Structure 1
């Protein structure tokens, strides 16, 4: 291995004692290939087996905690104890690759299509329709909010029983937790909405519930992470200043890591702070000494990963890169970094074991994946 890449391959020990073998994380990617009942498919197990190869941690795509939180057909479930055997099969496959298995848990809120949830009823923090759609979600009532918070805890217990090394609370990408934090989607005037402190109540309550369940049920160290999107483009929406308040509060919750959801690691704030540095650098400066931060976003090559790591964050997550080249990490350790693939061809679907729903999304979303002009 080229010694300059050694920092990427150094092990890391979390405060609770969990040790990972290197600094590369499989980013959570929705691959839409589960069975209709929310259990694991052969395609899915093959995907995670290959994409967990070489990484220190593997975070699953989003797993719904209640039936009305499902966003995609072919999405894995953790909403009942019946799902534990399926979840266990996936955890075992990831851990066989010597990667730590992290289950990402979420609720889609107003992002859920009516056709995939019971009775077609969409719920959210407030009755604010998703842009471009006429479906107006119903604002959740107090008891329902408490039940969803409890469901995050119950799914955490199932992750523990299924043998995972941790869970990641999905508070990013406009799903329900973010809908409660955003002034755009949260117009409530009760204890769950209002100023930025009140809009943090739901995310922080979920963190507290998950950590309580871990304390009660985990017999060995178990990681709890939180993923968030730093800003929203709409007005009123989440600003960088809002996010820094949330991140500061999360860092005080004794979480094991924070995972920033970005398309570009080096992107700069839109509004809310007067700072010319990247969002990642600002976040790391605020909380990096209290909680490990995972960075992500358009990091394609080992040199780009190394540069991102040098910003101070201890972990770099790769999503699209590991779909394009499942051996990304192995090629570095073997001194074959020049052979890492950075684009797809239209012939790659079968060769790379990409499920049909994911493949259709890749080829029909311009600019998402680099695709070479060959047939």
Structure 2
């Protein structure tokens, strides 16, 4: 059997293969409550039946102040527990494991949806809206909100939680020098910039216990002007292991590092190689972004740099891609990375809108 389809155990979580669906916002929610629509459950079941070993939901806000747009899922109220349970059960019955991604957007909010967004220092960078520096009381409330969201996830039957620590959202903002200018215990040097993440992990563990899978999607480097280089990002990954996080999915932070060649397959692999050196040979890592062929997926796994291959856009076009690869029907993804996945109208949800891809799949 190929490495790609070998089972693997990560902490207490047993996975049927090495393919995970990276968290992808489905944009199928009740806009007032953030409750996922039943269509989301159908999407997850299709992924499970298509051979995906681990499904990570689109990011779900842990409290309303962290809502980045009005089609973002919520896990901020106990009333959502039975809804989520119904959503994920079919995928689990079909053999997949399902995690929910917990997030607070911080400054990365649509001001029309979240008028007064909170952030570490009130700094507006890149495409982020103007925000207000959060108080100590607000910061600690958000920490507790992450913990309560994790509790709800366990009660709903999720197989674990993944913290969103990438792509310029709140945890990533705390880790990044350009967006964390605080001079208290939550900012300053690299260790203090990690204090918010450490507090979140501690509170999550307090709520769910030591045996429950807690992962993170971590932005280990960003645009040069943001100040988070891979040398520091790799140390954050190492700290994650020390804090009790079971697996790090490697991604980018605020903006893509300029020195990466995004034209090649698996362009973030150089970042993963640095992280592997920092965390040692055995700590579980996953890698996302730009995988196009089974050969490269197998090669990356065989190298030992990561244990899991994480896919997003390829699975939007082909939810049964893993099954087709396992059966030898295809050796490469149909996705052309055109980014025409997002809904053309509100309420449509994600889907592949590339006519050439759709024609090739017929």
Shared fold per TM-score greater than 0.5: yes
* 2:97 match: 100
Structure 1 residue 19, shift from structure 2 partner: 1.1
Which of 260, 278, 281 aligns to 2:273? It is: 281
Tell me if 1:38 matches 2:34.
yes
CA contact (8 A) 2:335 2:357 kept: no
Q: Is the 8 A contact 2:314 2:333 kept in 1?
A: no
TM-align CA RMSD: 2.9
Partner of 1:228: 218
Count residues with an aligned counterpart: 344
**Residue number among 124, 130, 133 corresponding to 2:119 in the alignment:** 124
Q: Is 1:67 aligned with 2:64?
A: yes
Q: Post-superposition, which runs of at least 4 consecutive aligned residues in structure 1 deviate over 4 A?
A: 267-270, 343-350, 369-375
Distance in 2, Cα, partners of 1:171 & 1:327: 28
Counterpart selection for 1:48 from 44, 49, 55: 44
The question of 1:168 aligning with 2:162 is answered yes
Pair 1:89 & 2:79 matched: no
Q: Could you say which residue in structure 1 is the equivalent of 2:5?
A: 9
- Hey, what does 2:265 align to over in structure 1? none
CA offsets, 1:226-256, max 9 Å, x none?
A: 1111212142421112212211211212321
Contact 2:235 2:278 in 1 (8 A): no
Label 1:268 to 1:93 Cα distance change in 2 as closer, same or farther (>3 A): farther
For residue 209 of structure 2, what is the aligned residue in structure 1?
215
Residues 269 and 279 in structure 1, CA contact (< 8 A), matched pair in contact too = no
Q: 1:299 aligns with which of 277, 291, 294?
A: 291
Q: Deviations over 1:291-349 (max 9, x none)?
A: 20011111022112112212311110111111111111111222212585344999999
C-alpha separation between the residues in 2 aligned to 1:168 and 1:109? 17
* Aligned mates of 1:346, 1:146 — CA distance in 2: 37
The residue that corresponds to 2:240 in the other structure is 250
Partner of 2:312: 319
Listed as ranges, the gaps of 5+ residues in structure 1 are 271-276, 364-368
1:324-335 equivalence runs, <5 A: 324-335=317-328
Q: In structure 1, the residue corresponding to 2:249 is in which secondary structure?
A: strand
Task: Report what 1:366 is aligned to.
Answer: none
Cα distance between partner residues in 1 of 2:87 and 2:106 = 25
Structure 2, unaligned stretches of length 5 or more?
261-268
Matched, 1:260 2:250: yes
TM-score (normalizing by structure 2): 0.87
